[in-house]
Amino acid sequence: AQSVSQHNHHVILSEAASLELGCNYSYGGTVNLFWYVQYPGQHLQLLLKYFSGDPLVKGIKGFEAEFIKSKFSFNLRKPSVQWSDTAEYFCAVNEELAGKSTFGDGTTLTVKP
Amino acid sequence: DGGITQSPKYLFRKEGQNVTLSCEQNLNHDAMYWYRQDPGQGLRLIYYSQIVNDFQKGDIAEGYSVSREKKESFPLTVTSAQKNPTAFYLCASSNRRTSGSYEQYFGPGTRLTVT
């Protein structure tokens, strides 16, 4: 069965620090990859996604992620975080055409002003 | 405007009672999903449905049941057989793109407390 690992459960950063959240998955075939974000009191929403093509994908609010197939990874990055980035971040993986996603356990990001 | 509605936002039940959580979408999506979210455990898939009148068990289906009689509705029943039903329940929907991706749209969730 597919598994998704998010290595950091809770990350605390100061504003303007750089962010990288790790995500690794187990499935060796073709995958679709997603990062979702849940801001306090808001719905879970899509941050960015990868289907195919350029392995470096850009999402909303200055976030980007890089798909490295050889490492089964899809790490999320942001060069300079803001207090408003405080949220819970989830990595999710679809085996292509599987019809369902497997989610990681989530990483809580706290940005100190 | 389009979206997913879940009701109620908070639900309280006594142990031994079945309870049904509502999920409705007006996005015209084919697929719908139910997840359970517990602190530190991410989202765990309970049931999903890719088409009307069909659904599949997810990773933690025991003690839950669903129906998919209409495209826009996917109610979840938490039965008395579910040993630890207190949790935050999220409903989602998606449409299959030509690429095969299943980007999901989520509702606001229902927090169920069973005492």
pLDDT tens digits, one per residue of B52-104: 999 999 999 999 999 999 999 999 999 988 889 999 999 999 987 655 567 89
B2-B65-A94 Cα angle (round to 5)? 60
Distance from CA of A17 to the nearest CA of B (A): 24
**pLDDT at residue A88, rounded to an integer:** 96
CB–CB of A100 and B45 under 8 A? yes
Q: Which residue of B has its CA nearest to A91?
A: B42
CB proximity B103 to A under 8 Å: yes
A40-67: pLDDT as tens digits: 989 999 999 998 899 999 999 999 999 9
Q: Using CB atoms within 10 Å of the CB of residue B21, give its burial: 0 to 12 exposed, 13 to 18 middle, 19+ buried.
A: buried
A44 class by beta-carbon count within 10 Å (0-12 exposed, 13-18 middle, 19+ buried): buried
3-state secondary structure of B43: strand
pLDDT of residue A70: 92
Structure tokens at A87: 């949220």
CB spacing of A46 vs B90 below 8 angstroms = no
* Inter-chain touch A44–B90, beta carbons under 8 Å: yes
Handedness of CA B45, B73, A40, A65 (dihedral sign): positive
Work out the percent of chain B whose per-residue pLDDT is above 90: 79
Helix (H, G, I), strand (E, B) or coil at B80: coil
State the first-to-last Cα distance of chain A, in angstroms, to the nearest integer. 41
Q: Which of A97, A101, A105 sits opposite B40 (nearest CB)?
A: A105
Cβ proximity of B115 and B85 under 8 Å:
no
